[in-house]
Amino acid sequence: MKITSFRRDEAQDFAFTPENLKKAKAFIARYPEGRQASAVISLLYIAQAQNDGWLSPAAIQHVAEVLEMAPIRVHEVATFYTMFNLKPAGKYLIQVCRTTPCWLRGAAALSRTCQDKLGVGFKEMTEDGMFSVMEVECLGACANAPMVQINDDYYEDLTPERLIEIIDALRAGEEVPVGPQGGRLCSAPEGGAKTLPKVPPGAGKGA
C-alpha cells in the first residue's frame, strides 16, 4: 500500500468511460513497460475533458490508479501546468497570455476587459457557467500579440473591443473565426508582404 498525503474526496467518484479508457491505454502503450507514468499528462487531458473541464480529486486518483502512481505525484503534475483546472471552469475558459510580447501589446487591457465584461475575477466562473478567466504565461503566439486562448483555440491580434465582440458571439452560440483577428494571414506582416512582394521569374529553380 502506497503512503500518500493526497486528499481523496470520498464523496466523488470518477472512472474513464470505455472509450476514454481505450484512449488512455493507447497512450500508455507508447512507453516501455514500467514507464507508464510518462503518459500522465495525456491521461490528465482525457480525464479533464470527461469531467467537464476540470480535474476533481477523484479524477486525479483514478489517473494515478490506472498508471500505478502515487496520487500525490499525479497531483504535482496537475498543479504545475496551467492547462489543468483543479476546480470547475466555465464552458469557455479564457486564458490571457501575459508574457512580455503580449504585455507590451496590451495584455493588461485584455485582462481588465474580461473581468469588467464578465464580472468575475481570475479563476472565477460566471454565474451562468459560461465563462472563466485566468492569466497564463507564454502561449507561443508572440508574433501575433496580444492574444488569448479560449478552450483549444487561439484568438490573436486582439483589441479590447474585438475581445468583447468574441465574448458576445460565444455567449450567443455563434461561430467565431480563430487565429488573427486583424485580417492578416497567420503571422504575415500587416498590410501584406514588405519584401519580395513579387517572386522573380525562375526563383527557386536550379542554375
Q: Is the pLDDT assigned to residue 109 strictly greater than 90?
A: yes
Q: What is the mean pLDDT of residues 106-124?
A: 95
Residue 1: the pLDDT is: 39
Query: Half-sphere exposure of 73 toward its Cβ, with a 13 Å CA cutoff?
Result: 13
Note the pLDDT tens digit of each residue in 117-152: 999 999 899 999 999 999 999 999 999 999 999 999
| pLDDT at site 183 | 84
The residues of the chain that CATH labels 1.10.10 are 18-80
CATH among 3.40.640.10, 3.40.50.1820, 3.40.50.300, 3.40.30.10 for 92-177: 3.40.30.10
- Residue 36 grid cell: 507508464
Q: Where in the chain is the domain with CATH 3.40.30.10?
A: 92-177
Rounded to the nearest integer, the mean pLDDT of the chain is 89
Ramachandran region, residue 193 (left: φ > 0; alpha: ψ -120 to 50; beta: rest): beta
Is the separation of the CB atoms in 93 and 152 below 8 Å? no
Q: Which three cell numbers stand for residue 193?
A: 508582404
In this predicted structure, the answer to whether residue 206 has a pLDDT above a threshold of 70 is no
Q: How confident is the model at residue 9 (pLDDT cuts 50, 70, 90)?
A: low
Q: Does domain 18-80 have CATH number 2.60.120?
A: no
pLDDT of residue 72: 94
Enter the C-alpha cell of residue 25. Answer: 491505454
At residue 113, φ and ψ (nearest 5 deg) are -60, -45
41: nearest Cα among 1, 79, 89: 79
CA angle, residues 181, 186, 187, in degrees to nearest 5: 105
Residue 7 reports pLDDT greater than 70: no
pLDDT tens-digit readout, 66-91: 999 999 999 999 999 888 999 899 99
Q: At what angle do helices 18-28 and 57-67 cross, to 10 degrees?
A: 50
